[in-house]
Each structure stands twice: as C-alpha cells, then as structure tokens.
Amino acid sequence: MNQGGLATANGGSGSGSVGVQIHQSQRLPGFLQSVNLKYVKLGYHYLISNLLTLCFIPLIAVISIEVSQMNLDDIRQLWLHLQYNLVSIITCFAILVFGLTVYIMTRPRPVYLVDYFCYRAPDHLKAPFGRFMEHCKLTGDFDESSLEFQRKILKRSGLGEETYVPKAMHNIPPTPSMAAAREEAEEVMFGALDTLFHNANVKPKDIGILLVNCSLFNPTPSLSSMIVNKYKLRGNIRSFNLGGMGCSAGVIAIDLAKDLLQMHRNTYAVVVSTENITQNWYFGNKKTMLIPDCLFRVGGSAVLLSNKLKDRRRAKYKLIHVVRTHCGADDKAFRCVYQEQDDAGKTGVSLSKDLMAIAGGALKTNITTLGPLVLPISEQLLFFTTLLVKKLLNANVKPYIPDFKLAFDHFCIHAGGRAVIDELEKNLQLLPVHVEASRMTLHRFGNTSSSFIWYELAYIEAKGRMRKCNRVWQIAFGSGFKCNSAVWEALRNVKPSSNGPWEDCIDSYPVKITS
C-alpha cells in the first residue's frame, strides 16, 4: 500500500546531463506514438458518437435540393393530395397525440436533489493517532500484539489526524451505553437535518417521505421515529428504517426514495445516512475484527429529494440511474463482512481475507449492468468486439476495460480504506484527480460508512469543479455482499452549501498521503 514516488539521481555535472538528454531522445518516438494513439482514439469516439448526425447531413442536403427545385405546379399537386387524404392525416395526428399523452402520463417522474448536508463533529471529539493509541492502551482490553497491529493499520490507513470518534470513546474507561449511543445518533442526525432544513428553506411539515439507514445501531423506537418526534413531522409521513445493510446503504436508500417519489406526487423525501460507533467498538484481540475500529469514524448526511417540477430551478442535481448488485447468494460473499463474537464473547465486525476479491467481482457485475446505460456507443462497440473475438476465435485477448472517464466527469468512490481506493483507481483506470475526493475524505473524516459519498461530493463542490451537465458516479460496497451505484447530473454550476464540512479547510487540500 505504499505509494510510489519520483526519484532522481545525478551522476555528475557533465556525463549526467548528457545521459539525461540521450534518455529523453530515445523515449521521444514512443511519446509521439502514444500521443498519436490518443488522438486516434479521440477521433474514433467522436466519429462513432456523432455517426447518426453525420449520416443525416447528406440526407438533409438531398431533401433541400429537391424542395428548392419544386415549381408551383408541384406544390399545388402536393396540396391536392393532402386534401384527398384528410381522413388519414387526421387519424395519424390523433394517434400521435394519444401516444404522446400516454408517454407523458406514464414516464418516470424526474427526481431532483434539492440540497444535502454532511455533519461535522465538534473539535473536542477529534482523535489524533497518539491519543487514539493512548486510549486503547489505557482501556486494558488489548494485548501488546493488538496494539501494535492497530498502530500499523492507522499508519497505512490513509486517515489523517483530525477524524472524530464519539464522546463515549473519549472516556476512560469507555462508556458504550445505550444512552451514549442515542446521544451520538441524535447529534449526528439532528445536526445534519437542522442545517439542511435551514439551507433548503424547507419546513419539516413539508416532508412526505423519510428514510434513515444505519447498519449497526437499531434501537426501539427506531431512528426514523426519533426524527419524527424531534421535528414533529406529519402523521401520514411514510417513514422507513434500514438496518444491517453496510456502507452501500446510502445508495439503497436513494433507490427506495426514488421508487416512492414515483408513486407519490408533489412531495419531498429526506434520506439520512449514518453509522453509530458507540456500541459497536470492538474491545478484543482478534485481528480481523480490530480493523473497523481503526477506520470507522463519526459522520452522517441528510439529503433532500423532490419530484416537484418547480424545484428543478433550484435543485443541484437530477438522479439519472441507480444500479444495485447483490452477491449474497454466494456463501463467501455473504460472510466476508460479518458481525459476530470472538472466542472471548466480545462482539465485533470481522473482515474476511477474501474481501477485496469479492468486492472486485461485485464491481464487475455492477459495471456490466451500468455500462450500457452510461457509456458512449463507441466504448460499447469496443467492448463487444473484444468479447466477440475472445468467444468465437478463442483468442488470448485481454478483456477490454471500458473508459468510464468518457461517461463521468466526477467519481465519488467507496472510501472504506486506502487499499479499496487504490484498487478502484487501478481497475477503473482512473487518474489521481478522479480519486482525490475519496482520498481526501478518508484523510479528513475517515470511513463514515454510508455517508462518505456525500462528503466526497461536497469536496468536489468546495473545489469549484462541479459544472452544469457534469455527471457524477457514486459507488459503494456493503456487507451482504453488495455493490451499488448512483448516477447524478448537475443542473447548474454547483456551489458548496453554507456551513459545509469543508468550509474552513478546503484550501489545505489536497494533502500528500504518507505511507
């Protein structure tokens, strides 16, 4: 997981400089060849993408010439022909109007993202590595081997020194009580919702649909009921509480909200995504169960969705696609992220050594479904041609990896850990700028589970990179095992919301992640 760097060595004032010049001259033809191939590929994509338009140009030219050559008698004959076939024309027109009416009434309603907000914990809950390790040592629950393991994980994790852990974990000894867990949930959810309602200028009574997802903490009454009680939401609100669905539950909640907004007209839906750490900290010595302690941190988001046409003018994004993949039928996939007790009876979440391989398989299945929906026809042709050659000729041809950079302008990929980001960057052939939001979110806020995709989107906005018509791909993995994707399109040049999580620190990023 060490990142490579650039190294230089100078052999001397004379021979060293000559050697560099010879080396550069030797590489020049290869460089020119790569540039030529780059432009050939760009030309190919442009040609295929605009093929239909290019074919219509000669047709339009021919029609224009024919029309220009028509004389007055030809026009009179055409008019008489139309008069004699008036019934046919009226029938065709009626069928056309009926078809358009049916299409308008039955087409899916657009779902708009009006605004969202990501919670940022107070500074006194920050957990620098030194304090984190000191607290682990003082609890007396970890042996020396476990402490050293956690120290190594923190060093290689990609997390920075300013992530947050809940109040109960700052106490010595820790106090993971039900009351403390409720307090953490309330601070995160209410903190995000208060700012969301204020920024979006929406009254809580206007909310018709409420979805809350939290994987590991599911009290009675539910988290959604806590929100209904706090904001005195209306009695006929459709509320849902999703539990046990892992880090990809945020996309699942968006998908459910989309389906509900297709059924219920002129209403708002709020999706709250969070995770609760207080009662789910592992105090044992099983290595595979210690990793989540080192990665997961306090965080949460609240997203306001609407199906009202009038909200298009003020909305930030429009939902284009949601693609969900569930691999739970496979036993290995089902158990690769598994909550259980260790030999000492202490509860935690165990991560399998097969996790990365299973995630790769889930990703492959997900993008196989997503690709035809978003990729330009040029990329689909290349993929299909490669597959055809491999199947029919049994040739040893590498499978063609579509260039998703042609379909998306921004990527909010799973920030579960540094290794996950590295693998996605490699497998999807992304550039460092495409994974910058994910790496910086992991560094500043840690793994906030289902809400990290919104911290990443907030980072892109805070950097001023989100332009009108840009497309964003949010992708997350979750226990079960699941891989889910959401695609959004920016409706305008999006500026960051006030009081956002990056407001006072965005100028300090990106930072270099040390190994």
Instruction: Tell me the β-bridge partners of 135.
Output: none
Question: DSSP letters of 16-44?
Answer: HHHHHHHHHHHHHHHHHHHHHHHHHHHHH
Q: Is 447 a catalytic residue?
A: yes
**Dihedral class, residue 464 (left if φ above 0, else alpha if ψ from -120 to 50, else beta):** left
Q: What DSSP state is assigned to residue 311?
A: G
Among the listed residues 460, 373, 374, 369, the one whose alpha carbon sits nearest the alpha carbon of residue 413: 460
Start-to-end CA span in the chain (Å): 7
Catalytic, out of 410, 412, 470, 484: 410
d(CA 281, CA 298): 12
Q: Which residues of 467-485 are buried (b: 16+ CB within 10 A; e: fewer)?
A: eeebbbbbbbbbbbbbbbb
d(CA 142, CA 281): 13
Preceding amide of 432 cis, omega within 30: no
Catalytic, out of 45, 218, 326, 427: 326
Element holding 136 (H helix, E strand): helix 129-139
CA 440 to the chain's CA centroid? 14
Q: What sign results for the dihedral spanned by CA atoms 336, 400, 415, 241? A: negative
Among the listed residues 160, 128, 125, 150, the one whose alpha carbon sits nearest the alpha carbon of residue 439: 160
Q: Is 294 a catalytic residue?
A: no
Tokens of 513: 């992640």
Task: To the nearest 10°, report the CA torsion of 270, 496, 194, 237.
Answer: -10
Preceding amide of 173 cis, omega within 30: yes
Q: Is 280 a catalytic residue?
A: no
Could you tell me if 136 and 147 are in contact, meaning their C-beta atoms sit under 8 angstroms apart?
A: yes
Task: To the nearest 10°, report the CA torsion of 446, 335, 219, 169.
Answer: -40
Q: Is 92 a catalytic residue?
A: no
d(CA 3, CA 515): 6
Q: Is 414 a catalytic residue?
A: yes
d(CA 421, CA 440): 11
Spell out where 203-257 has E strands. 207-213, 238-242
Q: Is 412 a catalytic residue?
A: no
Catalytic, out of 447, 470, 483, 484: 447
Alpha-helical segments (H) within 404-508? 418-427, 436-445, 452-462
Task: To the nearest 10°, report the CA torsion of 166, 172, 173, 178.
Answer: -30
Catalytic, out of 294, 443, 470, 483: 443
Catalytic, out of 214, 327, 336, 414: 414
At which residue do the structure tokens 């605009």 appear?
Answer: 50
Catalytic residues: 247, 326, 410, 414, 443, 447
